[in-house]
Chain A
């Protein structure tokens, strides 16, 4: 697609850890020993990141320059940029990677970009300040949150229309989908809640979930990022200003452990063998490495100003 794929194909599985820093306009690269090996200058305000399927390329949404930068994982250079609508924040690929679904925060749109031609092929109105984006594995339905409308919009991809609005808690942010595709979890930052949506009916399933670490007040909890294990048994939830992540038994919804991390725990990612979790801490400018076996923090590593997301090439 970009002329770099062939050369970069060997790069997959490098073990490198990539962190986007919103305020220092860079993606920081750490090796397996958590040593910084490179700071890759990007377009302004890099936020959400995703690899392509073979992990040769890393896509980075850069909110203040209205582009998705593309980093070659082998050379660790920005090799291309895809223009988007204003203020791209979070994005997702279609299952075949032919399309990119991106929330344009400033324009209140879910934009669908054809990855090959780099052209916008759909521009779907949403509530104000859309953020979280998730495309279902069948590619037929997409979900997007609106931070201001407190809604999850259900989008029919074929027609490019919103077919349903689901009212959730205050300032909904991100999604995870259970591996069987049956449940969509939505973090609601300001009401401190997690909503679970039944994807068969697009109705809210049960009561909202609230996780408050000992010694904190409910209003300290501002959940944002989530991750789920491949077997769907555990959910990792960043609790924002409560400075912890919650490791949750997905079936019972019970907390297995609260793990103290950095300040304003924001995004969380699992290594492919699920032995480690990495948490981006937006206020302490570091990431925390969490050992999943003991469910405890191993160490924190300073990375730069306002880390937003972490991805691991392992």
Chain B
């Protein structure tokens, strides 16, 4: 009996230890909401021009566009150096293998849920408007 109890105790102990390890390995949970990137197409401004991130943390990057111009938001180097869990476009979810840019033909909201995996400084911009004020950077530590 002592032997069986010892085995059961060991199993319980292993189970107790294993569960937190599994949870800790799941990066795609409890994401940090970054400040929304609001695009003002009348003034050609971004509400944020710099984001500080950490590798291995899960983030939601929300882009909100007023629809005044057709704009493609580019951040190819950030996306290349991140794991993209999902892109949510006006509440519809896309699960991509990779991402190059997102484009607004009209007003709306796009959320990009991702985990940066490599430190660096990565630019983001609106294609064609990078010298007109629509540019910024992600600093990943």
A residues with CB within 8 A of B: 170-171, 190, 219-220, 241, 263, 282-283, 306
CA gap between A226 and B128 in the complex, in Å: 21
Contact with A along B34-45 (1 / 0, CB 8 A): 000000001010
Question: CB distance A263 to B132 under 8 Å?
Answer: no
Closest CB of chain A to B41's CB: distance in Å? Answer: 8
Q: How far is the CA of A220 from the CA of B42 in the complex (A)?
A: 12
Knowing A241-B44, A283-B42, A283-B68, the reply to whether A170 touches B128 (Cβ < 8 A) is yes
**In contact, B132 and A171 (Cβ under 8 angstroms):** no
The 14 listed contacts between A and B (C-beta, < 8 Å) are A170-B128, A171-B128, A190-B128, A190-B129, A219-B131, A219-B132, A220-B132, A241-B44, A241-B132, A263-B42, A282-B68, A283-B42, A283-B68, A306-B68
Which residues of A sit under 8 angstroms from B128, Cβ to Cβ?
170-171, 190
Which residues of chain A come closer than 8 Å to B132, judged between CB atoms? 219-220, 241
**Contact flags (1/0) for B96-129 with A, using CB distance below 8 Å?**
0000000000000000000000000000000011
Q: How far is the CA of A170 from the CA of B130 in the complex (A)?
A: 13
Q: How far apart are B69's CB and chain A's nearest CB, in angstroms?
A: 9
Which partner residue on chain A sits nearest B72 by CB separation? A148
Chain B contact residues: helix, strand, loop or mixed: loop
**Docked CA distance A263–B128 (Å):** 19
List of B residues within 8 angstroms of A219 by Cβ: 131-132
Docked complex Cα distance between A306 and B42 (Å):
11
Chain A residue contacts of B42, Cβ below 8 A = 263, 283
Complex CA distance for A3 and B57, rounded to whole angstroms? 67
Chain B residue with the shortest CB-CB distance to A190: B128
Residues of A within 8 A of B129 (CB): 190
- Secondary structure of the A side of the interface? loop
Q: Please name all residues of chain B whose beta carbon is closer than 8 Å to the beta carbon of A220 when the two chains form the complex.
A: 132
Bound CA–CA A195/B24 (angstroms): 59
Using Cβ atoms and an 8 Å threshold, which residues of chain A touch B44? 241
In the assembled complex, the Cα of A229 lies from the Cα of B44 at a distance in Å of 33
Chain B 65-91 interface mask (CB, 8 Å, partner A; 1/0): 000100000000000000000000000
Give Cα A306 to B69, complex, Å: 11
| Contact residues of B between 38 and 69, Cβ < 8 Å to A | 42, 44, 68
Interface contacts beyond A263-B42, A283-B68: sample of 5 additional A-B pairs, CB < 8 Å, sorted by A: A170-B128, A219-B132, A282-B68, A283-B42, A306-B68
Distance between A71 CB and nearest chain B CB, rounded to angstroms:
25
- Measured CB to CB, the nearest residue on chain A to B132 is A219
A27 to B57 CA separation, bound complex (whole angstroms)? 51
A241-B44 Cα distance, complex, nearest whole Å: 10
Interchain CA distance A103-B37 in the complex, whole Å: 32
- Residues of B near A170 (CB, < 8 A) are 128
Nearest neighbor of A189 in chain B, beta-carbon distance: B128
Q: How far is it, in angstroms, between the C-alpha of A308 and the C-alpha of B90 when the chains are bound?
A: 26
State the 9 A-B residue pairs at the shortest beta-carbon distance, nearest first: A190-B128, A219-B131, A219-B132, A283-B42, A170-B128, A171-B128, A283-B68, A263-B42, A241-B44
- Give bound CA distance, A190 to B72, whole Å: 13
**How far is A190 from B69 in the complex, measured between Cα atoms in Å?**
12
In chain B, what residue has the closest Cβ to A263?
B42
Q: Which chain A residue lies CB-closest to B130?
A: A219
Q: Which residue of A lies closest to B42 (CB)?
A: A283
Contact with A along B5-49 (1 / 0, CB 8 A): 000000000000000000000000000000000000010100000
| Most B CB within 10 A of own CB, among A170, A220, A241, A263 | A241
A147 to B42, CA, bound (A): 20
Q: How far is the CA of A282 from the CA of B132 in the complex (A)?
A: 18
Which chain B residues border A190 with CB–CB below 8 Å? 128-129
Which A-chain residue is minimally distant from B44 (CB atoms)?
A241
Q: Whole-angstrom distance between the alpha carbons of A241 and B129 in the complex?
A: 12
- Provide the bound-state CA to CA distance between A283 and B69, in Å: 10
Residues of the B chain whose Cβ atoms lie less than 8 Å from the Cβ of A306: 68
